[in-house]
Amino acid sequence: MAKVAFIGLGVMGYPMAGHLARKGGHETAVYNRTVEKARKWADAFGGRAAETPREAAEGADYVFMCVGNDDDVRSVVYGADGILAGLKGGAVLIDNTTASAHLARELGEAVEKAGGRFLDAPVSGGQAGAENGVLTVMVGGDEKTFEDARPVIDAYARMVGLMGPVGSGQLAKMMNQICIAGLVQGLAEAVQFGRNAGLDIEKVVSVISKGAAGSWQMENRHKTMIEQKYDFGFAAEWMRKDLGICLEEAKANGSSLPVTALIDQFYAEVIAMGGARWDTSSLLARLER
């Protein structure tokens, strides 16, 4: 059993911290900007609610965070009440936020100067994956730190892999989001095409999902898309944030992402339709306006 802290109790962080406490059996302190949510978590899982990130981090062997974006990460890491102010020597800061590779490298240097160790470890699997403890975790960092932290990360993960040095986890997550964006748009177009052609979408999907066209998105989202229900999983506004990170990194490394750039604009249209909190499969709603 380790002493751990978790910063950020959103739809992902709340259950992830719960798995660390209950499945992992770790002594867990939590911090959330809304104090009532941290207290609710502590009541549910038997951990401790801290008033500041610094208080949560003090004495912890592993400090996890899962917040919104680069600025949110900086707001809980730096300053008199930030994580670094409470991080003990040798402790590992693990960032599960989907953020930029630039930020990961910045944090790696800052944590090292503070006497700690750092892993960027964005996750994939959505809210359901977090709740069921079966997330995929893409990690950047050195091998020794990864091996030390992996048994703890396993509490909320099904697959954990070291992608390379600090920043590599975030780069791998960018690849993940690029792939998902294309898959969801293709599925949306196929569903609309099949419906307009008078096909029974369920029958078609039951066949093509077992062939080369099959994907997680097809298996798990086609039914809700057909029913025009978009309240499942990762929100469009967060996907747009992630695709923005991908496009910025592509500029820096000389990559061309024409399809990703186009789908990013499609999500902008979904958000303008009032769908900021609709899940990513809402690309179909844009087609059927």
Helices within 97-226 (DSSP H only): 101-113, 126-132, 143-153, 168-196, 201-208, 216-226
Which of 207-236 are b and which e, b meaning 16 or more Cβ less than 10 Å from the residue's Cβ? Answer: eeeeeeeebebbeebbebbeeeebebbbbb
Cα 112 to Cα 48: distance, rounded to the nearest angstrom: 27
Hey, what are 205's tokens? 């999907």
Length of the chain: 289
CA atoms within 13 A on the CB side of 149: 35
Other Cβ atoms less than 10 A from the Cβ of 278: the count is 23
Q: Are 65 and 96 in contact (CB under 8 A)?
A: yes
In whole angstroms, how far apart are CA 13 and each of 68, 100, 102, 231?
Answer: 11, 19, 23, 19
Among this protein's residues, is 113 annotated catalytic?
A: no
Tell me which of 23, 37, 88, 173 is the catalytic residue: 173
In whole angstroms, how far apart are CA 30 and each of 41, 139, 209, 276?
Answer: 8, 22, 41, 28
Residues 6 or more apart from 247 whose CB is under 8 A from it?
A: 257, 260, 261, 264
H or E, element range at 285? helix 283-287
- The rounded Cα 141 to chain-centroid distance in angstroms is 18
Phi, psi for 31 (deg, rounded to 5): -135, 140
Q: Catalytic site residues?
A: 173
